[in-house]
Amino acid sequence: MKKKILCIFLCLTMVGTLAACRGSKPVSFSNDEMDISDKGCVNWYGRTYADKEDGSMGFDYTCSGFEVTFFGTSLTARMKSSKTTVVSGTDYSWVNVYLDGAMVETSVLEISSEQYADFELAADLDEGRHTVKVLKRTEAQFSTLSLSALSTDGHFETPPAKSEKKIEVYGDSITCGYGSVSAIGASGFKTATEDGTRTYAAMAANWLGAQCSIIGYSGWRLANYWPDAGLTVPDVYDRVYSPLRSVDAAWNTSDYIPDVVIVNLGTNDYAQCAASAQTNYAFGNEQGEIFQNAYRDFIAKLQKSYPKAQIILCNGAMLTDTVPWEKEIVKELNAAGNTSVHYVQLYQTAIGKDNGTDGHPHWTAHYESAGLLYAKIKSVTGW
């Protein structure tokens, strides 16, 4: 796939824009007449953000994106990206492009323009009906991504029905795929080696044929252990939180009601407590109680929003099974009759064997964890 970096005014007329979807004949429409947020024309995945100023859709979270069907030979997307300047090694957004259900390495694009530019997603195809899906590989902490228009040389049609199976995931750098496609044992973060589509949760969801909405940031914790230590996941679980675009908007949890909620947090809680010289995480100590109380409260929030969901707490990847936080909570809740909360021990990354950047799991380690999570989800849902 070729990448075009062309700065084009938003008012340019596009041919066969989304206003011509649902099988109508090719017609020219100006950009301000089309609505890329129309769910009848575009399948949106993950927590997205409608920008009222320029009419674009923002999709910043890991594995968020869009899907369209068209009849023609080519598809072009007008997109822009931003990047953080705080963390060295970060570039712009990277995406995977899937054509008719298949993804090849040449379909990996870096959206490296801070002004709207045209990116060729498909070209020189046999004329006919095609479906293109775009998923963001990189996490919201390091880059934003916006789509303002789509065009084809043919016409747009109704996209395929989205899976009725829905999974929601709350996590940190592990879930975001930090270093998942780097060399074994690499050091120093780079967005080019972060691929959230090749992580335990995304792979398990894909094998199950389920939608997967990921809410994750590197460094995120479940709780704070000293004042003013920053945001935690319970602070933003019901929001579209994107600090790079200064957005902190409410998210309507009824817009996406998951069958399964996966929570994989604790690694950064442990790290924060270790930094404060509290490394003994025996159940019952002061900081362990802070963690567990925060977890209980978060589970209560999730079950209030999603009363029918199965909730799976994860541990592992970068921590060992000797830390009993999640197990103790699940045992306690199950004993009290709350049987919709479960536990799964993920695969323990072996340093020097299947770790990517900075000790984070390589995609091969994620693959092992995906198998364990896949089995657990099947057992609690019957999928």
Please tell me the predicted confidence (pLDDT) of residue 274: 61
| Selection from 188, 216, 182, 185 nearest residue 202 by Cα | 216
**Cα–Cα distance, 349 to 304 (Å, whole number):** 34
User: Residue 100: what are its φ and ψ, rounded to 5°?
Assistant: 50, 40
- 362/13: higher pLDDT: 362
The residues that bridge with 96 in the sheet, in sequence order, are 108, 135
| Residue 245 CA to its chain's centroid (Å) | 17
Per-residue confidence at 224, pLDDT binned at 50, 70, 90? confident
User: What is the mean predicted confidence (pLDDT) over 345-367?
Assistant: 92
Distance CA 263, CA 253 (A): 16
HSE of 22, CA atoms in CB hemisphere, 13 A = 5
Q: pLDDT digit string (tens) for 51-79?
A: 888 889 999 999 999 999 999 999 999 99
pLDDT digits (tens, 9 = 90+) for 226-264: 777 788 999 999 999 888 888 888 999 999 999 999 999
29-50, pLDDT tens digit by residue? 333 334 687 778 899 999 999 9
Structure letter (DSSP) for residue 40: T
Tally Cβ neighbours within 10 Å of residue 310.
20
Give the pLDDT confidence score for residue 85 in this predicted structure: 72
Backbone angles phi, psi at 269, to 5 degrees: -65, -45
Query: Cα–Cα distance between 34 and 111 in angstroms, integer?
Result: 22
Confidence of residue 276 (pLDDT cuts 50, 70, 90): low
